[in-house]
Structure 1
Amino acid sequence: MDILRFLCGVLGNAVGLFLFLAPIMTFKRIIRSQSTEQFSGVPYVISLLNCLLYTWYGLPFVSSDNLLISIISGIGVVIEFTYVSIFITNGPKKERAKIIGLCALALILFITFAFVSLFALHGKTRKLLCGITLDISSTIMYASPLSVMMSVIKKKSVEFMPFLLSLFTFLCGIFWLTYGLLSRDPFLIVPNGLGTGLGTAQLILYAIYCKNQSHMTNEITDEFAETDLETTDQMQKLGCLA
């Protein structure tokens, strides 16, 4: 059981790293254009706070034998902080001030939480506070894809819900849920159970609406073809008139 638990943690780390790196193309685009366009930096601030809490929860003086959680979450802190920094550097003044304010609030909350849990609480009470706080933060983070899923249902298209991202969200939830079950840790079971459920829902939506994506792509291609034909006809007419 210990070996299976360790393997689930290692696989969870590998899949989690992929999820952290998934938005890298978006940030390449932001850096290239030197503009955040319509992208929001708020989810990355929430993810940063969540990674900080997970890193703290995995430390030996909070919960025993959860170092794998601290490792991947610590990597996530570095990656998410990099994303937030890119938003602050390239965003407009209003968005920049908003992200700086939220980031400062997240750091103040985490530092306060860390000091209280470290110096005011001990043993099971410390783990209880950290676990409840972690579950609340994780629930907020996992709720963010709901708007994308509602958009998929309304538009009947998975254009803005990449398959690989949905698949790895599901796999990450499964591995860490199994890890939590083998550890008998309710504070890992609850958030990763939610992640698994949302990942499953995204895959179901993809299975239902993926055909519509190819249909929409064909329609767009046909529209471009019709436009090209109309342009060609107009050019030919102009040539005849000349």
Structure 2
Amino acid sequence: MEARDAFMLYACPSLGALLAFCMFISPMRAVLAVNRRKQLGEVNPLPFAAMIANGMGWLAYGLHIHDYFVFGSNVSALLLGLFYVMTVSKFAEEKMQDLLRNILLALCCLFLAVSLVFMGAGLDAAGNKSLWGSTAVAILAIYYVSPLTTLAKVLRRRDSSSLYKPMLIANIGNGLLWFAYGLATHDWFLIMPNGIGAAFSVLSLGISLMLPATERNERLKQQRQQQQQEQGQLGSFSRRVSDSAAEDAVGGSAAGTRPLSWLTGIARMPGSRQTAAAGGGGVSPLAAEEAIHGPDRMLDAQNGTDFRAVAAAEQQALHVVGISAASRTHLGRFDGKDHSIV
């Protein structure tokens, strides 16, 4: 056996099986994102239904011709396709859910009809191969064309968010490898559909490269802006708490008591139970303490500081704003003594 024949008979289908798995796993991130945000967005569920049909067709064909490469490479197509459809269909519109259900029912009816013909028609080996091969080819054509169902929308909106570049690239490589394997085995059921499918994928990839993914890019931009705003607010609040802690460390040592001006910063935050009085320059420490614990927890300045009540106030306030353990230790040292909360 020549090296070229060995490459086309064994290396190409092995690489094709590996690349087929990459092709089938490529939508996983998008599917998990749909499940995480509980919204379908621009994800098109139709290719996933076609993936199920494609896997079933080539599993049947590979089983009939006793080809382990064809059979084994499509197991992941069937299993992953089922996972994708079951995951995203619950977030689709009712019309899309009905369409997916009808596609799967039609697929079951198709294989039932082909099985009846296979058992009752009395075809020879070549006829049975043509029967299952034609079925697999017809389904594969639908699978390769299915990303183009949104092509009119892509061209109209000039937005390629619904075309998955990783899947398209995997489709091209996968089609070329199986095309080579078909040439080596002289199997036109592998040559013709994989060559045409690779051409369709090249066309889809070219469109996705020419037109930007506007909606996807805008969504990512909004997420980054929101994260930056949240980080800025957290940093601003942390600086206010640190400044209040430094002031209290000086003022508390001089007076021998433990001021609560750091609670004022907490009370000023949006969503707190106490807001700054108009023109009053902020909330007093006692008002902040009362806002958190109520009158029964008020400090008695004349009779001394109730550090246990203050510790409880710290614990609740810091639990609300989510300050780190290091910050709690720092805020506990106001009067020269360590009153941090453990």
Return the letter of the residue paired with 1:39.
Answer: V
Instruction: Identify the range of structure 1 (170-179 vs 106-115) with the bigger mean alpha-carbon deviation.
Output: 106-115
Match runs of 1:160-199 below 5 Å: 160-199=162-201
Whichever of the two has the greater Rg, that structure is 2
Deviation at 1:205, TM superposition (A): 4.7
Tell me if structure 2 keeps the 8 A contact 1:152–1:158.
yes
Instruction: Show the counterpart of 2:30.
Output: 26
TM-score (norm 2): 0.55
- The answer to whether the Cα contact below 8 Å between 2:23 and 2:166 also exists between their aligned partners in 1 is no
1:58 to 62, 70, 73: 62
Counterpart of 1:96 in structure 2 is 97
Question: 1:165/1:44 Cα in 2 relative to 1: closer, same or farther (>3 Å)?
Answer: closer
Aligned pairs for 1:74-113 within 5 A: 74-113=75-114
Aligned counterparts, 1:126-141, within 5 A: 126-141=128-143
> RMSD over aligned Cα, in angstroms?
3.3
8 Å contact kept, 2:159–2:213: yes
- Measure, in 1, the Cα distance between the counterparts of 2:50 and 2:34: 19
Task: Tell me how far apart the structure 2 counterparts of residues 155 and 91 of structure 1 sit (CA, whole Å).
Answer: 21
Question: Partner of 2:229 in structure 1?
Answer: none
TM-score (norm 1): 0.74
3-state SS of paired residue (1:179): helix
Report the 3-state secondary structure (helix = DSSP H, G, I; strand = E; otherwise coil) of the residue aligned with 2:65. coil
Question: 2:48 matched to which residue of 1?
Answer: 44
The code of the aligned residue for 2:102 comes to G
- Please give the alpha-carbon distance, in whole angstroms, between the structure 2 residues aligned to 1:103 and 1:150: 25
Mean Cα displacement is larger for which, 66-75 or 109-118? 109-118
- Quote the residue 2:117 is aligned against: 116
CA distance 1:8–1:119, shift in 2 (3 Å): farther
Q: Aligned equivalents of 1:178 and 1:144: distance in 2?
A: 24
Counterpart Cα distance in 2 of 1:114 and 1:123: 15
Distance 1:204 1:58, change over 3 A: same
Counterpart CA distance in 2 for 1:193 and 1:176 is 8
1:198-224 per-residue CA deviation (whole Å, 9 max, x = no partner) reads 2333455566x37x779xx7xxx8xxx
Of stretches 162-171 and 150-159 in structure 1, the one that deviates more from structure 2 is: 150-159
Give the drift of 1:56.
0.5
Structure 2: state its 5+ residue gaps: 226-342
Give the fraction of aligned pairs with identical amino acids, expressed as a percent: 20
Residues 169 and 187 (structure 1), Cα distance of their counterparts in 2 relative to 1, 3 Å cut: same
Task: Evaluate the alpha carbon distance shift between residue 157 and residue 36 of structure 1 in structure 2; reply closer, same or farther with a 3 A threshold.
Answer: closer
Is contact 2:21–2:73 with CA below 8 Å preserved after alignment? yes
For residue 102 of structure 1, report the CA deviation from its aligned partner.
2.1
Could you tell me how far 1:159 is from its partner in structure 2? 5.3
Take 1:114 and 1:14, find their aligned partners in 2: how far apart are those partners? 29
Aligned length: 217
Q: Distance in 2 between matches of 1:52 and 1:118?
A: 18
User: 1:153 and 1:97, CA in 2 relative to 1: closer, same or farther beyond 3 A?
Assistant: closer
The 3 A distance-change label for structure 1 pair 135 and 87 is same
Which has the larger displacement, 198-207 or 132-141? 198-207
- Structure having the larger proportion of residues in helix: 1
Q: Does the C-alpha gap of structure 1 residues 114 and 34 become closer, same or farther in structure 2, counting only changes over 3 Å?
A: farther
**Whole-Å separation in 2 of the counterparts to 1:3 and 1:124:** 27
Distance 1:108 1:158, change over 3 A: closer
